[in-house]
Amino acid sequence: MTQTAPYTLIDPLLGDSEAAELLELFERFGSYGMYSEEGLNEGIGEGLPQRFDAAFNFVNTGGRFGRHEELEVLVARTNYFRETYCYGDEVAAPGIEIMRDHPALIEAARKLYGHDVIVPAIVYANVLVPGQELAVHTDVPEFRGANRKTNPEWLLVVMHHSGLFEQWRMPIATAVAWFQRAEGGEFAFYPRGAGGGPSTVPASFNTAVVIDTDSVFHGVDRVRQTTVEMPLLKPGMRMVSDGPGTQRWRVKTEDGELAAWDFDEIRLSISWKAYCFADQAERQAWVDGSDDIDLDTILDTLLDDLRGRGRLKGDRPGSNQDLAEMLVDEYIKFPPAEQVAA
């Protein structure tokens, strides 16, 4: 019997005045770049995007509902905007502390893992424009000695899905909160596993879900498209505000403007992540780096496992890209696309 992953729904998340302050912060921040602009991998997986696992699956399947379109349209649909408001004690958006230190989020994280020591770590905004959706994926996990600053993001995802590195894994609680009134954009997730079918939560204003997004597949259903054609969003573009109080957002390119929308047409979510430690000793091991794993150990462990599975004979594949694609194909098993009526 498949066990259902735990999660907590919070409604409302913030008081009315706090929610208003957060919306002002979003507008005041003013300019949002594309998540796809994160650099290509170097070394292992060289030349591949950081999250090529989710991107390739989205293009190959047509997303959660298997909608097949031209490649450039599919890419644009999941090429969304993101900016980080705070990372640890580094605060890029003053005022975000009302969410970073929110007691209800900390308590939900404590409940998620049954761990007492909760350390809020990251708060960032994801912005989807009309017609966009977020490819089904699991988030980038962390391990002692291995995180997105030291290793390719797809490799960290492979590590977790392989189940071979749990003794180094950093349990992370994630809250996804919504602060817009756009139509569509439901949060779809698979609490019963990749083969267990999805559940959905509406992206209702000032609500949140707290869940282990490193383990549970999830995505965002399509935001209602308000233009005849999907604008072909590409790396290098930015979404910028017309200014405080205007509630108007535009996508800027090197040559000018691609599209513009009112705030109520776009989908704003703010994600919160916290490390969850069983006790202070476990937290101290993380701080000290006294039980870290290195890249050589990671690759040797994965290669040995591939040989044991009969997927690899002898040395590693001929190229770093071949090895990267083999690892993703072997260990990350995405939920199947659903069939929709024509």
Q: What is the mean pLDDT of each run of 10 residues along the chain (342 residues)?
A: 82 96 95 80 75 90 88 92 93 97 97 96 96 95 91 95 96 96 94 93 96 97 92 93 92 94 96 96 88 94 95 83 93 84 40
Closest CA to 158 of 25, 302, 39, 10: 302
Output the DSSP codes for 161-179.
HHTS-GGGEE-EEEEEEE-
> What pLDDT score was predicted for residue 1?
43
CA separation for the pair 187, 178 (Å, rounded): 10
CB 153 within 8 A of CB 241: no
Q: How far apart are the first and last CA of the chain?
A: 33
Q: Return the amino acid letter for 253.
A: T
DSSP string, 263-326: GGGSEEEEEEEEEEESSHHHHHHHHHTTT---HHHHHHHHHHHHHHTTS--SS--SSHHHHHHH
**Bond before 12 cis per omega within 30 degrees:** yes
The pLDDT of residue 341: 42
Q: Over pLDDT 90: what percentage of the chain?
A: 75
- Distance CA(284)–CA(304), nearest Å, equals 31
Domains of the chain: 7-331 (2.60.120.620)
* Structure letter (DSSP) for residue 223: B
244-283 pLDDT, tens digit per residue, is 889 999 999 988 999 999 999 999 999 999 999 999 998 9
